[in-house]
Amino acid sequence: MTGAVVPMRVAVAGASGRMGHMLMEAISAAPDLILSGALDVAGSPALGQDATAFLGRQGGPTITADLRAGLANAQVLIDFTRPEGTLAHLAVCRELGVKAVIGTTGFDDAQKAQIAEHARHIAVMMAPNMNVGVNVMMKLLDQAARLLNVGYDIEIIEAHHRHKVDAPSGTALKMGEVIASALGRDLKDCAVYAREGVTGERDPSSIGFATVRGGDIVGDHTVLFAGTGERIEITHRSNSRAGYAQGSLRAARFLADRASGLFGMDDVLGLR
């Protein structure tokens, strides 16, 4: 007889938010994972509450703003918060030897360098989008850009809910990076984020971005390759956050036997 599988202990940051709830619900339904900690910001009205109360059950961890208490029993943290919060969480993860799955977006280059430094000591999986379908789309974009490298103008259009604070989305930026790399360019040199007034003709080497914010849109991304007499559009639409949660759990499982290193969803899905 084989021994029973010991569930991986997972903590969630941003526990009272919409994504936090989706993550904790997915963890609670997974036989190989257990919710071991729930973190929220100081001053949150959810502090001190049972983290699984929203599911109509009791016995989950208490939501806390004390990072060391919330991470004390965790093997991995899943974090969809804000850059400053994620970096504070990572510092404690490194101290306690807790691995991290980061879905937070909006990091600048200096903050990304801090994450890479932490990843020299703990295993970190970071991606602007955990959705499996989105990451398959990234692979398709790489192939499309290589094949449509002449005579096609490239525009990236993204739409999210009214509460999203960064623009363009981290996913849209990642799509731009994938396309630019496939074309042998640096996105910093060819991205166009705004157009207004008399802009002149479009630079054929540029990659344009357009941002929509409104309502409760979970996340829509379209990449347009506009040629002469034709348009090719590659689109992904998210109707719920369930796909992000399930991708995050796959990432947590991927980190189980890794001690350190910085990984992406292409590593998790074997798309490299």
Instruction: Tell which residue, 91, 100, 129, 102, has the closest CA to residue 255.
Output: 100
Bridge partners of residue 262, in order along the sequence: 124
Which helix (DSSP H) or strand (DSSP E) does residue 25 occupy? helix 18-29
Q: Using omega within 30 degrees of 0 as the cis cutoff, is the peptide bond preceding 168 cis?
A: yes
| Active-site annotation holds for 164 | yes
How many Å separate Cα 28 from the centre of its chain? 20
> What DSSP assignment string belongs to 145-186?
HHHT-SS-EEEEEEEE-TT--SSS-HHHHHHHHHHHHHTT--
- Phi and psi (nearest 5°) for 53? -60, -30
| Active-site annotation holds for 89 | no
User: 101, 238 in Cβ contact below 8 A?
Assistant: no
Longest dimension (CA), the chain: 74
Active-site option among 99, 160, 174, 221: 160
How many Å separate Cα 134 from the centre of its chain? 10
User: 6, 36 in Cβ contact below 8 A?
Assistant: no
Q: Which residues are catalytic?
A: 160, 164
